[in-house]
A = this chain, B = another copy of it.
Amino acid sequence: MSMSFYTADSLKAELHERGWRLTPQREIILDIFQNLAAGRHLSAEELCELLQKEGHDISLSTIYRTVKLMARMGILRELELAEDHKHYEINQPHHHHHHLICVRCNQTIEFKNDSVLKIGDKTSKKEGYHLLDCQLTIHAVCPACQRSILPV
């Protein structure tokens, strides 16, 4: 699994390894995710608003490019919740969690489970893959929706 904490310098080093550059935008976005409350995740739009609130005008194009880049580097987790857009959060194995989603009302519960990461480690190692992240997504019907007779 990738390292659990990135500084501007370690990000710079890892970018340079691949011939890429550390820009102020990338540094600021990394900083936002580093300082996000545990368990909080942002969509591209939410990240854009948060950046503006803090006085940083970074274009949506750059935001989309940066979170995708960081996800592919293993710095961010790309979460597919039951919505029509992606969420991102910093990738720290210690705070690893997974999602239990109601397919009717989309209510989502986060839960932890240590064996999931072990399965991910074992499986990727066996195939020679370099693990970045693993996510268990459970689709189910929540208690409230089980009681309701309403369609969907």
Residues in chain A within 8 A of chain B (CB atoms): 18-20, 71-72, 78, 80, 100, 102-104, 109, 111, 113, 115-116, 119-120, 123-124, 127-143, 146, 149, 151-152
**Residues from chain B with Cβ under 8 Å of A124 in the complex:** 100, 138, 140
A151 contacts which of B18, B132, B139 (Cβ < 8 Å)?
B18
Bound together, the chains give a CA A12 to CA B93 distance in angstroms of 45
**Residues from chain B with Cβ under 8 Å of A80 in the complex:** 80, 137
With A113-B119, A116-B119, A123-B113 already in contact, the answer to whether A137 and B137 are too (CB < 8 A) is: yes
Bound together, the chains give a CA A128 to CA B140 distance in angstroms of 10
With A100-B123, A113-B123, A123-B111 already in contact, the answer to whether A134 and B137 are too (CB < 8 A) is: yes
